[in-house]
Chains A and B, each alone.
Chain A
Amino acid sequence: MFLVVAVFLAIGLRLNPREVPSPFVGKPVPAFDAPLLREPQKRFTQKEMLGKVWLLNFWATWCPPCREEHPLLVELAQKERVAIVGINYKDDPARAMQWLKELGDPYVATLTDFEGRVGIDFGVYGMPETFVIDRKGVIRYKRIGVIDRARLEGEILPLLKELRRP
């Protein structure tokens, strides 16, 4: 009896209840149409990225883990030449622009999602969140929370390599 309880507890403690299984991996990227942070009169949709392997990163200046993750995104964009689209989630545009000026801008395009509508269509509930999308526009990976170096090197880079193979 004790053994059974111990085994269940051991499994339970290792699971992370915050990691909700994502219904998105393997599905086409949800359609969105959002204004650009710097030129709000212009809009950007997922169609512009078709044919490319790209990352979609939800972030906000009010999110401390986003600050932790940011340098890695800058590095990823520079070293690996990965196209990252940033979605600034429920944030103040002026602060967001200041953030990119100070910390560097890893994004090929930064969009604003002031009301969190795009976030809802991507099932976002924790900041930051990152999606890897293939050339056909299918989501291949989703990370809720910070991408750290271990995850970048162990999960994301190998996947990118595979997806970018001609």
Chain B
Amino acid sequence: MRTALALLMLALAQPAWADSHRELDRRAKALASQLRCLVCQNQTIAESNAPLAADLRRLVSEQLAEGRSDREIIDFMVARYGDFVLYKPPLKAATLLLWFGPALLLAGGAATLFIVLRRRRARLEVRELTEEEHRRVRSLLEGAGDREAP
């Protein structure tokens, strides 16, 4: 009787266990895709086939199973491999240029374009000729007409 009861409880508990297992698996995958494979550098440990990446994936799963938080696991990796292990670099003084460099370049380009266009417009501005200028234009045109005549 007791065995049957135990089996029944186990059967009932099973889906819950499977759920928590799936959840751990999901977290392990999420973490693995945030961590850089140090050997191949432009891949995460989720994507890489390098032996070290496999070791680190296993380590992530083990630590999750031991009940560690995502934050603790990330800190564990950073303590060993430095910020470089984070596929997305953290925002701090040393990485300011990395984060805001592109925006700065864009702003610089936009400012340059604005200034160049304004100068050009200033040059192209249409202005009425003064009386004096009209007279010079007329005399020049007439003079040119004279020269071209045979």
Q: Are A121 and B55 in contact (CB under 8 A)?
A: no
Asked whether any CB of chain B lies closer than 8 Å to the CB of A98, the reply is: no
Taking Cβ atoms with an 8 Å cutoff, the residues of A that contact B are: 17-18, 20-23, 90, 115-116, 120-123, 125-126
- Given known A17-B41, A20-B38, contact A123–B51 (CB-CB < 8 A): no
* Complex CA–CA separation, A18 to B55 (angstroms): 20
- Determine the residue in chain B with the shortest Cβ distance to A126: B39
B84 at interface, CB cutoff 8 A = yes
In the bound complex, residues from chain A placing their C-beta under 8 Å from that of B38 are 20, 125-126
Q: Does B52 reach chain A (CB closer than 8 Å)?
A: yes
The 7 A-B residue pairs whose C-beta atoms are closest, nearest first, are A125-B38, A123-B80, A23-B82, A20-B84, A123-B81, A116-B55, A21-B82
Asked whether A23 lies within 8 Å of B80 as measured between CB atoms, the reply is yes
Cα A116 to Cα B80 in complex, Å, equals 13
Residues on B facing A (Cβ under 8 Å):
38-39, 41, 51-52, 55-56, 59, 78-82, 84
Residue in A18, A21, A122 whose CB lies within 8 Å of B80: A122
In the docked arrangement, what's the CA distance between A126 and B40, Å?
11
Residue in A23, A120, A121, A126 whose CB lies within 8 Å of B78: A23
Starting from the known contacts A20-B81, A125-B38, 19 additional A-B residue pairs (CB-CB under 8 Å) come to A18-B41, A20-B38, A20-B84, A21-B82, A22-B82, A23-B78, A23-B80, A23-B82, A115-B55, A116-B55, A120-B55, A120-B56, A121-B80, A122-B80, A123-B81, A123-B82, A125-B39, A125-B52, A126-B38
On chain B, the residues within 8 Å of A126 by CB distance are: 38-39
A125 touches B81 (CB 8 A): yes
Minimum C-beta distance from A141 to chain B (A):
16
Q: Shortest distance in angstroms between A116's beta carbon and chain B's nearest beta carbon?
A: 5
Q: Which residues of B contact A125 (CB under 8 A)?
A: 38-39, 52, 81
Q: Which of chain B's residues have a CB closer than 8 A to the CB of A120? A: 55-56, 59, 80
Q: In the complex, what residue of chain B is closest to A144 when comparing beta carbons?
A: B38
In the complex the two chains form, what is the Cα distance from A88 to B22 in whole Å?
36
A residues near B78, Cβ cutoff 8 Å: 23
Cα(A125)–Cα(B80), bound, Å = 10
- Min CB–CB distance A46 → chain B (angstroms): 16
Of listed B51, B52, B59, B78, residue having the most chain A CB within 10 A: B52
Q: How far is the CB of B10 from chain A (nearest CB, A)?
A: 32
Chain B residues near A20 (CB, 8 Å)? 38, 81-82, 84
Chain A CB count within 10 A is highest, among B39, B81, B82, for B81
Inter-chain CA distance A23–B84, complex, in Å, is: 10
A22 vs B78: C-alpha distance in the bound complex, in angstroms? Answer: 10
Which of B39, B55, B59, B79 interacts with A23 by CB under 8 Å? B79
